[in-house]
Amino acid sequence: MSQAEASTPTDPDAVRFRDAGEAALVVEFGARVDPALNARVLALDAALAQDPVAGMLETVPTYRSLMIHYDPLVLDRDALAARVGGLLDRPPAGSRPGRTWTLPCCYDPALAEDLAEDLGAVADWAGLAPADVAARHASGTYRVYMYGFAPGFAYLGGLPETLAIPRRRTPRPPHPANALLVGGGLAAVATVPMPTGWYVVGRTPERLYSEARPQSFLVEPGDGLRFEPIDAATFAALEARAARGEILARRDP
């Protein structure tokens, strides 16, 4: 019996197949943000990439699920589910180990008026000084769980619990480019200015997304991220280099 067939609704980590319209199948691995669940998502994604099914168009990994887009005129939904079930029954294949990247990050409120406001709001909520919020944010090692919402918008886990402020009740005006965000117990690196319910705690001069690079996305789901604090003058110098196409992040071997 496959893992999907053996799961029960009472099992929080049960594998479930859900339809998303008539041309996408969602394989859910659980109901929480957890590195082990995300590793299972990425393992299935890698297995399908190594052994693709005719009619499969695209896979979209998330925190806890994999969405598989397919052409229903070529690939039957039940046949796809059976193939996925067979892959779940196999021992996990070796996958690419996640890399760890270090990104420069500036927490200086002078970078933007909204940065000072948001950093202060998180500090008030946490009962900390703004400098302590910046230090705790920079002390974490984060996991890239997925991209979504906008090109290069990286959803992260690993935020220190002391900074797990709830998201805003209403969106705030657009944040600056390459903002570091916290909200709802999660962290993120945004790329383009846009309204958000998250709080801006810093900025990086690095571009996680660039159409000018052969590989538009710098990091991948499963990678780790660390932030290295820099001052405003260093930020300005590095931002100019990034604008010329230089990659600023350091990657561990």
pLDDT digits (tens, 9 = 90+) for 10-47: 566 689 999 999 999 999 998 888 888 898 999 999 89
Q: Is the pTM of this model over 0.95?
A: no
Question: Is residue 8 over pLDDT 60?
Answer: no
pLDDT at 11: 65
In this prediction, residues 37-63 reach a mean pLDDT of: 91
Q: Could you tell me which residue, 7 or 75, shows the higher pLDDT?
A: 75
pLDDT at 112: 77
DSSP string, the chain: --HHHH--TT-TT--EEEE-TTSEEEEE--SS--HHHHHHHHHHHHHHHHSPPTTEEEEEE-SSEEEEEE-TTTS-HHHHHHHHHHHHHSPPPP-PPPPEEEEEEE--GGG-HHHHHHHHHHHHHHTS-HHHHHHHHHH--EEEEEE-SSTT-EEEE---GGG-PPPPSSPBSPPPTTEEEEETTEEEE--S---BSSEEEEE-S--SB-TTSSSSBSS-TT-EEEEEEE-HHHHHHHHHHHHTT----EE--
In this prediction, residues 54-71 reach a mean pLDDT of: 94
pLDDT, tens digit, 9 for 90 and up, residues 151-197:
889 999 999 999 999 999 999 889 888 999 999 999 999 999 999 99
- Percentage above 90 pLDDT, the chain: 65
Confidence of residue 131 (pLDDT cuts 50, 70, 90): very high
pLDDT at 56: 95
